[in-house]
Amino acid sequence: MKKKKLGLGILSWKAHKTLRQTLESYKKEKITELFDDAVIFFGDISNEDRKIAKEYGFRAIGEVNKGIAINTEKLAKNIKADYILIVQNDNPIIERNVFAKKHLNEAIELLNNKTTDFVRMRHRWSIGEGFDDVKKYLKIFPAQEIDPNFSAEKHLLSNPEYNDTWKKKLTRIFRPFKTHKMKGRCIFIEKNPEKCFPKVIQKKGNFIIADSSVINFTDQCFLTTKDFFINTIMNYVNTHPSSRTLNGFQVPEICLNSKWWRKQHFKVAQGTGIFTHGRIDGSFRENHHSQKKDIK
């Protein structure tokens, strides 16, 4: 059987300092050696963009910026591989090459044997900026057995309420739909998520597999098959545009935070992950903890 290829794609728009930070982390860990193809899609592509891509060994493609949805789809279509790992210009790698290779191989095996449809590759513990899943989870559920890797500080939880309360109990009773779709967020705090909600979360090797009814789609750091992303995910986004946009452009995360995603019961995998999220230039969260050098 012919070996299926693995490709890496980066979505980028301006923010050259951030992009260089990300690419330097890839260079340090020789991450591109793990892929058969490496591409950067630039919105509003410039000569500087092409220069940076060439410097770090990536193919540069791009055109006038048309937003995350269209740009990501064009990026995916241009990756010469069966499996595609898509990140953004502010997703540096924070694991070593040896672990990244093992993690990727395990994730591909899950996709290959149909155990999962979609793998989230953002780090489970070193989450970086712009992540409030645990904060939302703790408004509904108590913590059962907190994983030792969990850091309240990284989640901006200055005084987290881990215990159950009457307010949480009432929310679970009177808001069952919201309660159900929040269950998957236990992955980012609980030591054994599969024991918390065994009907919708299972463990497979080093990965947690959650039903898409309890965990949302993410634009950042995901691995899946090229066919699934283009013909299933983007087909839905293109045929069901959301009234909510970002600067007038469609965003897959917004379109897919919908009944359709939840009703498909896709299998979404989350392992340790290998990427985080952090910007240098153009950040709208300048005071976020991820910008502090003393927090890793």
Q: Who contacts 32 (Cβ-Cβ below 8 Å, separation ≥6)?
A: 8, 26, 38, 56, 57, 58
pTM of the complete model: 0.92
Q: Distance between CA atoms of 223 and 195, rounded to whole angstroms? A: 25
pLDDT in tens, 89-134: 999 999 999 999 999 999 999 999 999 999 999 999 999 987 889 9
Calculate the alpha carbon distances from 7 to 50, 258, 274 in Å: 19, 28, 16
| Three-state secondary-structure class, residue 218 | coil
Tell me how far apart the terminal alpha carbons of the chain are, to the nearest angstrom.
Answer: 42
All domains of the chain in start order, with CATH? 6-131+190-291 (3.90.550.10)
Q: Are 32 and 58 in contact (CB under 8 A)?
A: yes
Closest CA to 67 of 252, 283, 261: 252
pLDDT digits (tens, 9 = 90+) for 234-289: 999 999 999 998 888 999 999 999 999 999 999 999 999 999 998 887 644 444 33
